[in-house]
Amino acid sequence: MRVGIYTHYAHCDQAYFAVRLCDLLRKLDIDFEIYSDKQPGKIGSSYDKRIVTKKKMAFTEWAKTKNVIIWTHVPRSEPISYCKRRNIKTILVPMWQDLLQPFRKALRTADFVVAMSAECHMLFKDIYKVRNCVLLPFDTGLAPVKKTKGVNPRKIKLLLPWFDRNAKCTGGHFISILKFIIEHMEEAHLTVAITPSHFSPAIVKFFLTLQKRCPGRVSILRGVPFNKRAELYAAHDLALIPAECDNYGLCALTSITMGTPVITSAIPPQTDFLMQDNNAALIDTKVDYDENGVIHALPEYEKFGVVLQHLIAEPRLINVMNQKTNYNLNTRQHIFEKGWEELLDPPS
């Protein structure tokens, strides 16, 4: 079997999902190739130098060499129809917060559409009437880590994993609350991980100023390679994830897999795998829906700040969550891997 993955290979959820899928295909000993119609970025994975681009080969020529093609976005319906005429299995894995109209025809044309959260599955199946939609929750592929050492109450290590999309989802209100907490709670140590191209100079300047105001307690990491991010989560006590919308919960899933609980809004897809006071502090929030029916939080950052202050003041609560962070993750990994194996399996 030869599998092709058509993705936007840059610092984004599409590429991160493609990397996870490639790892699984390699584990299953299935031949695969990544295709991108734009110049690929360097995300720090082992596949950075293995991308076929439109400049090297036209999609139609590339597709002819494959038995299955997986898109990490919703293409036009014509490429899907082209593949189906040649008996190439077509699978779409849409990033629901990146949906662009028109997309219904393409969803209904593909052989399968994969939803990675229960809410996304309901949207495609019940609202858009996509009969061929299957639910396969995302899994990081990482081995779950359980921490044995408790939190140092004098140095509580907070991580703000603002790598990509999260940087665009939060405004000045959140960072002003965070600034107040860091300045007034000396036991709080903050690491901000950013991808420079996703941030305005003003945001970077804000954290540089905070770093000067709180010497030795604020670190700024730029351009952390994708394959180094898991260990960054593991090195902290609590991950702050203030995103208003998420495709499949990569940051939160990576954090709890590495044994680090999170604080975030109680919205899908996070509510599929985060449990209050077990592996997360979930902030109840009002929600809204965009023109495509995708849920977005209307975050109440004051509540976020109150809960964060409480956790810093009572680090024993973080220790309690540390004991339960990877609950059910092995089952989730089995469902992901077995589901994809069955989806790719050619009919007998």
User: Is residue 140 a part of any domain in this protein?
Assistant: no
Contact 145, 326 (CB under 8 A): yes
pLDDT tens for residues 28-81? 999 999 999 888 888 889 999 999 998 899 999 999 999 999 999 999 999 999
Mean pLDDT of 213-229: 93
Q: Which residue has the higher pLDDT, 152 or 225?
A: 152
* Start-to-end CA span in the chain (Å): 13
Q: 217 with 100, same domain?
A: no
Mean pLDDT of 166-176: 66
Q: 198 with 66, same domain?
A: no
pLDDT tens for residues 317-339? 999 999 889 888 999 999 999 99
User: Is residue 151 a part of any domain in this protein?
Assistant: no
Residue 173's pLDDT is what?
A: 86
The Cα 348–Cα 335 span in angstroms is: 22
Given a cut of 60, is residue 170 above it in pLDDT?
no
Q: 39 with 180, same domain?
A: no
pLDDT tens for residues 185-208? 999 999 999 876 556 677 888 899
User: Is residue 346 a part of any domain in this protein?
Assistant: no
222 band by pLDDT with thresholds 50, 70 and 90:
confident
Q: 205 with 267, same domain?
A: yes
User: Is residue 247 a part of any domain in this protein?
Assistant: yes
Q: 108 with 191, same domain?
A: no
Residue 168's pLDDT is what?
A: 45
pLDDT tens for residues 238-249? 999 998 889 999
Given a cut of 80, is residue 166 above it in pLDDT?
no
User: Is residue 336 a part of any domain in this protein?
Assistant: no
Residue that finishes a domain, picked among 89, 106, 135 = 135
**pTM, to two decimals:** 0.94
CA of 2: how far to CAs of 88, 89, 323, 345, in Å? 10, 11, 42, 11
Given a cut of 80, is residue 103 above it in pLDDT?
yes
Domain with residue 204: its CATH number is 3.40.50.2000
User: Is residue 83 a part of any domain in this protein?
Assistant: yes
Provide the residue range defining the domain that includes 88. 2-135
